[in-house]
Structures are given as structure tokens and as C-alpha cells.
Amino acid sequence: MLVVPAIIWALQLVPSVRLKNVVLRLLGAEVDEGVALAFGATPDMLWPDLLELRADAIVGYDATLLCHEYLQDEYRTGTVVVGERAMIGAGAVVLPGVHIGADAQVAANSLVTEDVPPGATVVGVPAEVVRRPERSVPDDGVQSPESGDA
């Protein structure tokens, strides 16, 4: 039982991104090509098999991806998904069951308690959306001059 937490703890100190990805895969995590976990990043120590890291995702220095949590009256687990090209800033914490959409950004030291939409930027404790992806056609259907032929 203590072997997996010991391996995860040791991974925090490993500078090789490739080695981290290989070990996480062996522990049951879904880790796509191009994923980068920075020095000090901590995947869940008890349930690494509930972690899904999509292609080219980046998890910053000292960020934590939790797939479990102990509450006063319950114990909860949930799959954490980090989408393609998503970026999690240094020191951020992602709670169980959260899905971070493709191309989303989580600011440093944020606490992510809810899903992050694709392309959005979230900041704070708890994390809130501060920027959504730009659209070429506004909701009213009128094309802006920048998005089409004038």
C-alpha cells in the first residue's frame, strides 16, 4: 500500500519528463504523448489510475492533482482530466472529479473545485473564469469586421 505513494513522492524529484510519464502509465494513469509534469508536481498518491493527462498538457511546479479527498462525513474519489494543451500553473490544486478542458489555463496557486471550460482561464481560490476563448462570430450572429471580409 505504501509503495505507490513512495513512488509518486520520488517522481516529484525526478527531472525527466519522459520517465515520469512512463512511471505514471505503469501505475495506471492515462498519459498521452507530450505531457510535461514539472519538478515538484504531485499526481494523486493513492489513486494515480484516476488521472487522465491529454496530449501536450503541462502541469506546473508544485501543482497538485488530487483524485481523492477526505471530508468530515465522507470520503470522495473522482477522475481528474487535464485536456489537450491545457496548462496548470505553479502551486495550483485540482480537486477530485474536475475536468480541465482543452487549451484551458489555470493560474498559479488557484484551487480548482469545478470543471474548467475548454480555452478558458481560471484564477483564484476557488478558481473562477476570468477569460473565455475569443469567438470569431458573436452570439448575435453578426460577423465582426476583424473576423471576416470587410
Section 61-73 average pLDDT: 93
Instruction: Fold for 3-131, please state it.
Output: UDP N-Acetylglucosamine Acyltransferase; domain 1 (2.160.10)
Section 12-35 average pLDDT: 94
pLDDT of residue 3: 87
Q: Is 55 exposed, middle or buried (0-12, 13-18, 19+ CB in 10 A)?
A: middle
pLDDT of residue 150: 45
Per-residue pLDDT of 93-145, as tens digits, reads 999 999 999 999 999 999 999 999 999 999 999 999 999 988 654 555 444 45
In contact, 122 and 116? CB cutoff 8 Å: yes
Grid cell in block for residue 109? 496557486
63 residue type, one letter: A
Nearest to 8 by CA among 39, 56, 46: 46
Section 50-69 average pLDDT: 97
**pLDDT bracket for residue 147 (50, 70, 90):** very low
Q: Return d(Cα 119, Cα 117) in angstroms, integer.
A: 6
Question: What predicted TM-score, i.e. pTM, was given to this entire model?
Answer: 0.84
How does the average pLDDT of the chain come out, rounded? 90
pLDDT of residue 144: 47
Q: Report how far apart, in Å, the C-alpha atoms of 80 and of each of 47, 75, 97 are.
A: 10, 16, 5
